[in-house]
Amino acid sequence: MRIRFTLNGRRVEVDAPPHITLLELLRNYLRTTGVKRGCETGECGACTILMDGKPVNSCLILAPMAEGAEIVTVEGLAEDGRLHPIQEAFIEENALQCGYCTPGFLITAKALLDRVPEPSVELIKDALTGNICRCGAYRMIISAVLRASEKMRTTSASQG
Amino acid sequence: MSSSLIEVQREEFSILDSWLKAREFIVVGKSVRRVDSLEKVLGRARYVEDYLVEGMTYARIVKSSVPHGLIESISPGEASSHPDFIDLITAEDVPGQNQVGYYISDQPALAEGKVRFHGEPVALVVARKPESAELLRSMVEVRVKPLPAVFDPLEAMKDQVIIHEEVGSNVVIKTHIGKGDAEKALEESDYVVENEYRMGYQDHAYIEPEGVLAIPKDGEYTVIAPAQYPHLAQLISARVLGVPQSKVRVIQPMIGGAFGGKDDMGPILAAQAVVAAHKTGKPVLLTYSREDSFTSHCKRDPAIIYYKSGASKEGRLTAVQVRIIFDAGAYANRGPFTLWRATAHASGPYEVPNVDSRGFLVYTNKVYQGSFRGFGNPQVQFAAERQMDELAEKLGIDPLEFRLMNILKPGSRTCTNQLLDHSVGIGEALRRVAEASGWREKRRRYGRIENGKARGIGVACAWHGISTSRGVPDWCNAYINVAKDGSVSVYTGIVEFGQGSHTGILQIVSEALGIPVEKINLIGGTSDAPDTGATHGSRGLSFGGTAALIAATKIRKAVQRVAARSFGCSPDDVELRDGWVYCRRDPEKRMRWEEAVKACYLQGEEMSATGYFFMPKERFDEKKGQGQAYVVFSYMAIITEVEVDVETGLTRVLKVWPALCAGRIINPELAKGQVDGAILQGLGYMLLEEIKVEDGRILNPAFTDYLVPTIMDLPEIMDPIYVEDYFKYGPMGAKGLAEMALIPMAPAIGNAIKHAVGVSPREVPYPAEKLYMDLRRVRGG
Ligand code: FES
Ligand code: FES
């Protein structure tokens, strides 16, 4: 069947079988391979994307449900060749090792910062509890989210 | 060490020695950012499943649902009429030898004749579309005639059911080390403690499940394999294909976590995938689902350990007697080595005059064991370190004090009677964590139940031999080429899977050549590089770095010679730094790195070099169980603070103080990442991670009920204390570190629980239910 939606700001139209997941659609039909397969049962967070602004596990969503939605993946975080502050902060705080969980964490963290610009450590942990990092970079990930929050506030202050 | 080795490697020894003595470093010891972080945050890093090749097909394994039985037939069944079905691959399709056994040739790539565990791959189904493979494999018909099976290693040792007829007994390997007379010394000891410990599986649970892409072309094969030793994946692929090793090329993609597990699974999946690629003539991407990963990939060996240790009333250890049974599962795989490592580390990092340590590796009809961070050592260190606390308690001495009274130091002899002549920093590490954690005061204050909760503080140490054991030959290598424009390529077989080895190796080369990291390109983890051995045993940066340092220094020397001629000074006075080559005595005399390289090309100095180094080893007498077990050991001391909820049995780890003795720290920030990660895996091992098995079947093959630490379990982890006890053959004195913090973590928590509420954990994992039951037993009611 034909599915139409917005992917990282671009309108896309794709033919795909209706029973596949959004994760499979993004990876195999649209080559958006930044979205990762970890468990396919909604338990690791590696496949997290933004769907209409909300972080969701793309492995739990059937592809046709994307119809008309606005979808953002890790590939859509950087704009005009400039890294998103959360991406910068992950590099600066060394918040990744193997990097396989990173796209999911970046997306979940961005969603949090969009909602709460100045989150507490408790709130950060709460938001990220569905994302597993087996390499154990959690401490650095928390620092990175705090740093990104600071970056975003200083840029928006200087712009405003 | 043989004198010819000294002769042949004279240059290498002197290179290592001069860097060991260097007083100042520009890049080494600094927190250089990991080189792969940009592509990773952009989502552009290519893991194996992200490769796209023309005509690619998709494979999944078909698994046995019987733990032990004879294969009667395997047929595609209804799958064959599905439009996406391409082929079914079985043992019959293996053109070469159907053998992936690591040390003992007991393991087929695809089951042949017999199945030996529930979840064993018996076939591969190859599909046109990725989403069809899962459906197709459910249609395949496998008929197996069940045989009696055995799951308990103690039962298996009776040999009533034989799992490998060709081996003849389920006890596949026995190990032994020791010295003195432990039996007698224990009889004469003032205090003796004797216990049984039971350790469960641990699953690597890397977030990227296993996968390999095999691409056939004109009788040659390119294999994109998340393996930890590209040349081993190459060798095993060639073996199953029946082609020369040189016809297979292995390339490492980005790897989504390995922790030892992909050292085994990389080659095994490569073998499976190349057979399918060979038969279909198409590129095959074989992937495991998360469930496959749980049911069919190797795990940390479950163990039963009987441990008896004694001390004199003055507080000196007198003897340890240890019996270790490792449950290998259906195949021996790395078991002979994990068990040997456990046997040889059984004393813990202490001076013990009388030691008798014996191990038994036993087959059962369950998923097989494999490499996992710590490699057999976490099991035995748990027992050793819990024993230390129990002995200290009997003696009425503070457990940390008791450890210090017996700790290894330079000049000590280990349990295999190996003399430790240098690089033993554990005593200082222990003293420093004690101070940092407020040990004394907390030992006094904690251990009381208030409002249903109690705090405790516990300590544990670990030692860990770096790289391969005994006389197992060990070498490293690297190849460096400097192009005419001065840019540098480094080829290493060392694999990057998140630990940061590639960044560390780049730092070492950058230091030796005095040029920025950005000018250097590292091509790693590929069979195109010289064979560097495996990236395991914490040897990636320590041994891989040694090779890179030697190769880079050979080039450095060529540059120094050419520059010295032009400056009219001695080569020793030529410095390489910040992209400049200059005379130390007269810094006005200088040229850019690029000019110096050009001059080398014109004046007959070779601008490429290899860094081969064969590790000098001393004798190990297998019969006596004595001699050099490892060239060097790294050490770790950890203190943890826990809070136990007496009503629920729930333990929360609140704080962790790590101290690490891994020689020179090449990159503190990356080292910290390794320590944090290992601490969390150790925490999971002790408190959360439990594989439940019934009649050989894993009952919880999913993250829903196999719990790994989430961000909610994160304790407050202090920055590591580094005691830099330099190692003479390591690059600038570095030793391995990535495994270290996991090893003492479980007993440090166990000892803290004991301090908090008085129950003595003798099992791993030790989740809330177990603590709750033990608490009821101890407290009554
Ligand atoms: S792959 Fe979707 S949550 Fe794990
Ligand atoms: S960085 Fe490896 S899982 Fe998070």
CATH at B278: 3.90.1170.50
CB B663 within 8 A of CB B728: no
Please report the pLDDT score of residue B779 as a whole number: 78
Judge whether B163 lies within some domain.
Answer: no
Residue B515 has pLDDT above 70, yes or no: yes
Judge whether B292 lies within some domain.
Answer: no
Q: How many domains does chain B have?
A: 3
Q: Are residues B482 and B459 in the same domain?
A: no
Q: Are residues B311 and B421 in the same domain?
A: yes
Judge whether B432 lies within some domain.
Answer: yes
Residue B189 has pLDDT above 70, yes or no: yes
Judge whether B102 lies within some domain.
Answer: yes
Q: Which residues does B431 contact at the CB level (< 8 Å), separation at least 6?
A: B404
Which ipTM score applies to this complex? 0.97
Please report the pLDDT score of residue B471 as a whole number: 84
For residue B536, give its domain range. 3-30+475-614
Answer yes or no: do B711 and A125 touch at CB < 8 A: yes
Answer yes or no: do B711 and A131 touch at CB < 8 A: yes
| Parallel/antiparallel/unpaired status of strands B488-492 and B479-482 | antiparallel
Structure tokens of B728? 């003479």
Q: Are residues B379 and B240 in the same domain?
A: no
Residues of chain A with CATH 1.10.150.120: 85-159
Residue tagged 């395997």 (tokens): B74
**Is ligand 1 within 6 A of the CB of residue A40?**
yes
Q: Is CATH 3.10.20.30 correct for A2-76?
A: yes
Q: Are residues B533 and B605 in the same domain?
A: yes
Q: Are residues B448 and B479 in the same domain?
A: no
What CATH number does the domain containing B7 carry? Answer: 3.30.365.10
Answer yes or no: do B669 and A94 touch at CB < 8 A: yes
Per-position b or e across A89-128, b if 16+ CB within 10 A of its CB:
bbbbbbbbbbbbbbbbbbbbbbbbbeeeeebeeeebbebb
CB B563 within 8 A of CB B591: yes
* Alpha carbon of B700: minimum distance to chain A alpha carbons (Å): 13
Over residues B71-104, the pLDDT tens digits come to 999 999 999 999 999 999 999 999 999 999 999 9
Please report the pLDDT score of residue A156 as a whole number: 73
Residue B216 has pLDDT above 60, yes or no: yes
Judge whether B203 lies within some domain.
Answer: no
Report the SS3 class of residue B556. helix
Please report the pLDDT score of residue B562 as a whole number: 97
Q: Which residues of A touch B37 (CB under 8 A)?
A: 90-91, 94, 96, 99
Cα separation, B540 vs B473, in Å, equals 16
Show which of residues 55-114 on chain A sit within 8 Å of chain B, judged by CB atoms.
Answer: 73-75, 77-78, 83, 87, 90-92, 94, 96-103, 106
End position of a domain, from candidates B245, B261, B287: B287
Residue B293 has pLDDT above 70, yes or no: yes
pLDDT category, B259, cuts 50, 70, 90? very high
Judge whether B161 lies within some domain.
Answer: no
Over residues A64-90, the pLDDT tens digits come to 999 999 999 999 999 988 999 999 999
- Is the overall model pTM greater than 0.80, yes or no? yes
| Topology of domain A85-159, CATH | DNA polymerase; domain 1 (1.10.150)
What type of residue sits at position B189? S
Mean pLDDT of B180-203: 98
Chain B interface mutation, best of A59, A96, A97, A102, highest count of B Cβ atoms under 10 Å: A97
Angle, helices B399-406 vs B377-395, to 10°: value is: 110
Residue B4 has pLDDT above 80, yes or no: no
Judge whether B62 lies within some domain.
Answer: yes
Ligand nearest to the CA of A39: 1
Dihedral sign, Cα of residue B172, residue B177, residue B180, residue B183: negative
Per-position b or e across B526-546, b if 16+ CB within 10 A of its CB:
bbebbbbbbbbbbbbbbbbbb
Report the separation in Å between the CA atom of B360 and the middle of ligand 1, taken as the mean of its atom positions.
39
Judge whether B42 lies within some domain.
Answer: no
Q: Are residues B435 and B480 in the same domain?
A: no
Residues of chain A with CATH 3.10.20.30: 2-76
Number of H helices, E strands in chain B: 20, 35
Mean pLDDT of B258-273: 97
Q: Are residues B442 and B487 in the same domain?
A: no
Q: Are residues B707 and B772 in the same domain?
A: yes
| Parallel/antiparallel/unpaired status of strands B171-179 and B354-363 | antiparallel
Over residues B127-167, the pLDDT tens digits come to 999 999 999 999 999 999 999 999 999 999 999 999 999 99
Ligand nearest to the CA of B204: 2
Cα separation, B137 vs B248, in Å, equals 28
End position of a domain, from candidates B263, B287, B311: B287
End position of a domain, from candidates B599, B614, B629: B614
Q: Are residues B337 and B455 in the same domain?
A: yes
Q: Are residues B390 and B436 in the same domain?
A: yes
The sheet carrying B580-583 orders its strands as: B574-577, B580-583, B590-592
CB B683 within 8 A of CB B715: yes
Q: Are residues B601 and B700 in the same domain?
A: no
Answer yes or no: do B207 and A43 touch at CB < 8 A: no
Q: Are residues B465 and B480 in the same domain?
A: no
Residue B380 has pLDDT above 60, yes or no: yes
Residue B353 has pLDDT above 70, yes or no: yes
Residue B3 has pLDDT above 90, yes or no: no
Mean pLDDT of B407-414: 98
**Is ligand 1 within 6 A of the CB of residue A37?**
yes
